[in-house]
Amino acid sequence: MLAVSPGPQPKNKTLPKVFILGQFESSYDDLVVSYEQSLLTACDCTMKTAFGKWLGMLHELELYSKKQNIDIRGVKVWLHVFWNPDGSIEHIAYHLRPNSKIIDEEVMSFLLDGFAKQYSFPLTAETGYAHYSTGSFPVFGEVVEK
């Protein structure tokens, strides 16, 4: 007898929009499994496009932090971002890197939560997509236009 795949499973709605990597491990693992498409595959496997869009998002986060009067210069962070097909952010998991400037976790979570609620990534896809990488501020590099 052939096993029938149940298809895409609903994403775990018990996770907060922003959380620290290491929290909610079981729900995080479920979330990771539910996102089969990466940012790179959503960008038709074009590394330059995916990297440029990633840098663009980090640049927008930096601009948002300035509007919120939160200084993130010197912050270095691991980020795992999960986007909906329309480019809106469903979740951001993060962890400050050991060589990062110290920033209060509540402040960083507040900043990322506010950013996630108002930002739309300049990429739409048929399914949600995710990316795990680092971010350092200030952002240096070439940003791909929206």
Question: Does residue 22 belong to any structural domain of this protein?
Answer: yes
Question: Does residue 116 belong to any structural domain of this protein?
Answer: yes
> What is the tally of structural domains in the chain?
1
Sequence-ordered strand ranges (E) for 2-146: 18-20, 37-38, 76-83, 89-96, 129-136
Quote the tokens at residue 59.
């640049």
Per-residue model confidence as pLDDT tens digits over 38-77: 999 999 999 999 999 999 999 999 999 999 999 999 999 9
Question: Does residue 12 belong to any structural domain of this protein?
Answer: no
Question: Does residue 102 belong to any structural domain of this protein?
Answer: yes
Provide the residue range defining the domain that includes 114.
18-136
Per-residue model confidence as pLDDT tens digits over 75-108: 999 999 999 999 999 999 999 999 999 999 999 9
Q: What torsion, rounded to 10 degrees, do the Cα atoms 9, 111, 115, 10 define?
A: 10
Task: Give the span between the Cα atoms of 66 and 68, in whole angstroms.
Answer: 5
Query: So what's the pLDDT on residue 144?
Result: 53
